[in-house]
Amino acid sequence: MIKLNMPPLNSVKTYIEGGYYHIYNRGVDKRKIFQRDLDYSVFLRLLKEYLLPIDHPDLLKIQGIIPRRKPLNCYDDIELISYCLMPNHFHLLIRQKSKYGLKRFSKALLTNYSMYFNKTYERTGRLFQGVYKAVLILDESYFLHLSRYIHLNPSELLARDNPLHKYKYSSYKYYIGINCPDWLNPKPILQMFQNDKSQFPSKILTYQSFVENYKENERELLGRFTLED
């Protein structure tokens, strides 16, 4: 159970074993970091490579489209709870299993994706806007609403008749019934709807209804810990 204390401002890079973190960043000058489907696939492939158990059979299927690098596995360091990749930014909600797992994981993920992107598009220099943000989450309500905020990110990109779970580069589809991959663990969020429904309005019975029908503004609750426009 997550302790009920609001996270202090600027609690970036506070490394706690077992802590939950919101990791996010965007392209330098708000430029796109994903320009085509292949770019999203490479980023997700890196997540899969880092987060599956080292002896998982799916690791053998990963192709060599990512630049040559030292192999890395973070299965004992990081657990991914939810994610969303947008054209010029990304959000990850993770649990840090080892004290400095977040640092090791994030550095490898962003460095190797930047190497791929720069090589593919024949560019040089930084891809991301500064160092990644990693906000420690110490409040249960914040934890829950952050997952909703992450999953609602694609709303403005989708046509009105296109449901949110159809967005390909978000974990939301796995939260509402599509088979979940072994490198993602939605249980810490979904169990909250099984164990304690008193914190939700009476009409909010499922995670899907919470994400799609709840009326509160996440930006007001999460304050300065969301990605600014």
Q: Residues 190, 172: contact at Cβ < 8 Å?
A: no
Sequence-separated (6 or more) residues with CB below 8 Å from residue 193: 200, 205, 206, 207, 210
| Global pTM value | 0.85
Architecture of domain 20-220: 2-Layer Sandwich (3.30)
**Helices and strands (H and E) in the chain: how many:** 7, 4
Q: Comparing C-alpha atoms, which of 153, 166, 196, 222 is closest to residue 204?
A: 196
- Tell me, what's the pLDDT at 69? 53
- Tell me, what's the pLDDT at 19? 93
- Tell me, what's the pLDDT at 71? 67
- Tell me, what's the pLDDT at 1? 41
- Tell me, what's the pLDDT at 177? 87
- Tell me, what's the pLDDT at 75? 94
Walk along the chain (229 residues) and give the pLDDT tens digit of each residue. Answer: 444 344 434 345 678 899 999 999 999 999 999 999 999 999 999 999 999 988 887 776 664 555 555 568 999 999 999 999 999 999 999 999 998 899 999 999 999 999 999 999 999 999 999 888 988 998 888 898 899 999 999 988 876 667 898 999 999 999 998 899 999 999 999 988 876 655 665 567 788 988 988 876 666 666 655 555 4
- Tell me, what's the pLDDT at 160? 66
